[in-house]
């Protein structure tokens, strides 16, 4: 067992909360091990005034951290799984996926009780193409405003009156103590979550068996199976690109159900489908659903975007 572990993390409040949470779990499991954080600035942190889709897809918040993993200056990294590309850099792996906290998207507003209560033309903030497409599909009369920044920055912009509401991941709000600001968790038929949303990913080098063994206790079996299915679905379609795709897997009574949507940017076209099966075949189920939806019209939608 290593005597010291260095965790690479972004500097945002949410990233630091997540990394400190994992650090505390490691200290509890291994009381004699020193666990420290190393803060790293990523490209996604540096560029705050341009929509994410214009500067790249997934990986904007992980590349610099992964470079330090490869170089060996840190032992592990803690990420929001939804920020992770479906194909990792050579030599790296996801050593553990933590139990999912909440997968849904939260409606936050100071003046309106629900998404349905927003008046026509109301400015609604989000940085996600996935959310934008689905929100427009449900309410084409709204003014979707691009909203970048960390959770606290986005809430501040809402409080300054720059928009009537914002949509944020429920898990992030809960982790930072903002659960009381959630007016509504949007149902999946209005806004299907992102791949891996609500779970944390612990990344390390494949050749560091000592580190991987120490991280194994953090892995949550059912969440790992569900997110493996979701990531397999996305990997076949778009890899790490920013695309309007939502997919969510759940396990109930020993059966896995995966639901997904592929939508056009304006929300006017969408393909929805679902599949059920054995959780042990999670990745296969994700691939089958992906292939089926691409053949049912998803390919045409994606070609307009990619």
Q: How confident is the model at residue 42 (pLDDT cuts 50, 70, 90)?
A: confident
- The dihedral through the CA atoms of 191, 194, 195, 198 has a sign that is negative
Q: How confident is the model at residue 205 (pLDDT cuts 50, 70, 90)?
A: very high
Dig out the tokens for 131 from the structure.
Answer: 């959310």
> Are the CB atoms for 242 and 57 separated by under 8 Å?
yes
Residue 49 has pLDDT above 70, yes or no: no
Share of the chain above pLDDT 70, in %: 92
Q: Which residue has the higher pLDDT, 52 or 237?
A: 237
Mean of the pLDDT values across residues 31-54?
Answer: 77
Q: How confident is the model at residue 291 (pLDDT cuts 50, 70, 90)?
A: very high
How high is the pLDDT of residue 149?
A: 84
Residue 76 has pLDDT above 90, yes or no: yes
Mean of the pLDDT values across residues 11-30?
Answer: 97
83 belongs to the catalytic site: yes
Share of the chain above pLDDT 90, in %: 83
> Are the CB atoms for 192 and 259 separated by under 8 Å?
yes
Order of all β-strands in the sheet with 270-277: 245-252, 255-263, 270-277
- Please, what is the angle between helix 282-293 and helix 221-237, to 10°? 30
Among the listed residues 45, 49, 75, 83, the single catalytic one is: 83
Nearest Cα to Cα of residue 198 among 218, 219, 227: 227
Residue 91 has pLDDT above 90, yes or no: yes
Kindly tell me the burial class for residue 226, based on how many C-beta atoms sit within 10 Å of its own C-beta (0-12, 13-18, 19 or more).
Answer: buried
User: What is the pLDDT of the chain when averaged over all its residues?
Assistant: 92
Residue 55 has pLDDT above 70, yes or no: no
How high is the pLDDT of residue 51?
A: 56
Q: Which residue has the higher pLDDT, 2 or 166?
A: 166
Mean of the pLDDT values across residues 136-147?
Answer: 94
Nearest Cα to Cα of residue 75 among 86, 62, 66, 84: 66
> Are the CB atoms for 57 and 245 separated by under 8 Å?
no
What CA–CA distances, in Å, run from 167 to 3, 115, 151, 184, 287?
42, 10, 10, 10, 29
Q: How confident is the model at residue 53 (pLDDT cuts 50, 70, 90)?
A: low
């Amino acid at each position: 067992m290593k005597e010291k572990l260095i965790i690479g993390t972004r500097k945002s409040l949410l990233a630091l909360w997540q990394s400190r949470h994992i650090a505390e779990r490691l200290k509890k499991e291994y009381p004699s091990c020193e666990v420290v954080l190393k803060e790293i600035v990523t490209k996604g942190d540096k560029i705050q005034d341009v929509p994410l889709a214009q500067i790249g897809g997934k990986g904007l918040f992980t590349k610099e951290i992964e470079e330090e993993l490869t170089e060996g200056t840190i032992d592990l990294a803690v990420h929001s799984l939804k920020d992770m590309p479906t194909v990792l850099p050579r030599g790296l792996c996801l050593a553990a996926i933590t139990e999912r906290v909440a997968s849904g998207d939260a409606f936050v507003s100071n003046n309106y009780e629900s998404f349905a209560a927003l008046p026509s033309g109301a400015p609604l903030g989000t940085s996600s193409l996935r959310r934008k497409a689905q929100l427009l599909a449900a309410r084409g009369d709204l003014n979707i405003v691009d909203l970048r920044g960390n959770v606290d920055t986005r809430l501040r912009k809402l409080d300054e009156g720059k928009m009537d509401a914002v949509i944020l991941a429920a898990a992030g709000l809960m982790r930072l103590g903002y659960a009381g600001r959630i007016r509504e968790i949007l149902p999946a038929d209005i806004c299907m979550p992102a791949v891996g949303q609500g779970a944390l990913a612990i990344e390390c080098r494949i050749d560091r068996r000592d580190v991987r063994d120490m991280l194994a206790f953090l892995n949550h079996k059912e969440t790992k199976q569900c997110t493996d299915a979701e990531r397999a679905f996305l990997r076949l379609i778009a890899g790490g690109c920013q695309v309007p795709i939502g997919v969510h897997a759940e396990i109930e009574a020993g059966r896995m159900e995966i639901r997904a949507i592929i939508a056009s940017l304006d929300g006017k076209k969408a393909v929805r489908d679902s599949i059920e099966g054995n959780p042990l075949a999670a990745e296969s189920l994700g691939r089958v659903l992906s292939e089926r939806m691409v053949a049912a019209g998803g390919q045409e939608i994606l070609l307009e975007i990619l």
